[in-house]
Structure 1
């Protein structure tokens, strides 16, 4: 490069791209101002993410949050961005055959986050797909060993052995799994109708038991009252007077022909002397 000395002074900086293709931030800004963007490729990595730098298909290093520029000098530069934040994964509409041969559909949810992006990218093709398959297998194993009644009564979650295997398998590829839960159990239409009939019959039986219990208590109370009146004539007389008061309150006119003695002794008489 030939330059006029009068326009100087000039300073030349040589960059060996065989050592590192990364561009310093200040030089990257100057190239942008000079409209020489074709000399570089720019890759942003936002907070909460990790960028894996591949040069010619070889993993070189992990990039932190920021804007990263690399020289375009005939080498292939690729950046794979991995989200490090906690995420949820839903496995919806999975058909499972229970122990009593009822086919149900379940919705599963799990919380996870990537703790080692290098392992998560290099050991499996898609770590979220690997978690999806692991959850499928674990719940098939768990629910397939239970009857439909057990599943509905216990609101079953994944058993500890299956959950531990899921967490261990995912930890090997750099993924940490926290919560694993069974969100919904969806029954076939005819099975829902049968269960509704069963529940209705059970509630009706419970109502009949309660009704019989109350009738028994009422009869027992009446028997106790009769026993007290039989042993206590004064109590019996008070009951007679209460009956008389009730009758008098329901008639418009009460005619007494033989005096108050007849009113008290003859009108209301629950038993012979």
Structure 2
């Protein structure tokens, strides 16, 4: 059975159109025949009422987060009533949850903003880790002038690899000793 195009307001007053599918089986034909004039009409109406009752108690976010909860709630509500008339409601499922056009645009903006915020958070974490790493490196180099010199030469090597001509004044001794002056803290004090 298809229950089509039910226009319903959620708890947070968002208008939705929800289409349901249901599978059922008559288990007691005699009881169905004597108790109900039209069992299909009865099931259709009960599914509509249950759908309205369940949706009106949930927010849009709750509905979109867990469609199975919607399906289970409707099935549980209707199955009990239908069983009293000899009908076994096998499954109920929301086929479509159709949002109004403006709500689709708003939800798309919300999702985009959430993803942008997540990306910013990740970027900030990486920047913090990078800064900590630089700080730790600086602390190690602060107490070790030889390590500082090695780092300096490593950077000089990278720079010279990218240029075609390098003029050195003062010779190799100038490059090795005068590029950055190293002083011994114990002698300076």
- 1:112–1:175: 8 Å Cα contact kept in structure 2? yes
Residue in 1 that maps onto 2:186 = none
- 1:157–1:180: 8 Å Cα contact kept in structure 2? no
Q: Which has the higher strand share?
A: 1
2:180 matched to 1:256?
Answer: no
Residue in 2 that maps onto 1:157 = 70
Greater Cα shift, 162-171 or 215-224:
162-171
The answer for unaligned runs of 5 or more in structure 1 is: 1-88
CA deviation profile, 1:187-211 (whole Å, cap 9, x unmatched): 1111111222222222222222222
2:44 matched to 1:117?
Answer: no
Q: 1:33-44 residue pairs with structure 2 within 5 A? A: none
Q: Distance in 2 between matches of 1:97 and 1:253?
A: 74
Q: Distance in 1 between matches of 2:149 and 2:116?
A: 42
Residue 135 of structure 1 is aligned with which of 31, 39, 47? 47
Q: How far does residue 272 in structure 1 lie from its aligned partner after superposition?
A: 4.7
Output the TM-score relative to the length of structure 2. 0.86
Which structure: larger Rg?
1
Residue 108 of structure 1 is aligned with which of 20, 27, 35? 20
Residue in 2 that maps onto 1:186 = 98
Greater Cα shift, 151-160 or 202-211:
151-160
- 1:142–1:158: 8 Å Cα contact kept in structure 2? no
- Matched residue SS, 1:192: helix
Residue 234 of structure 1 is aligned with which of 146, 156, 175? 146
2:57 matched to 1:145?
Answer: yes
Q: Distance in 2 between matches of 1:159 and 1:251?
A: 70
Residue 108 of structure 2 is aligned with which of 158, 183, 196? 196
Residue 265 of structure 1 is aligned with which of 177, 182, 187? 177
Residue in 2 that maps onto 1:92 = 4
Q: Which has the higher helix share?
A: 2
Query: Which of structures 1 and 2 has the larger relative contact order (alpha carbons within 8 angstroms, sep 6+)?
Result: 2
Q: Distance in 2 between matches of 1:137 and 1:264?
A: 86
Residue in 2 that maps onto 1:205 = 117
The answer for unaligned runs of 5 or more in structure 2 is: 184-189
CA 1:152–1:164 in structure 2 vs 1: closer, same or farther (change >3 Å)?
closer
How well do the aligned residues superpose, as a CA RMSD in angstroms? Answer: 1.9
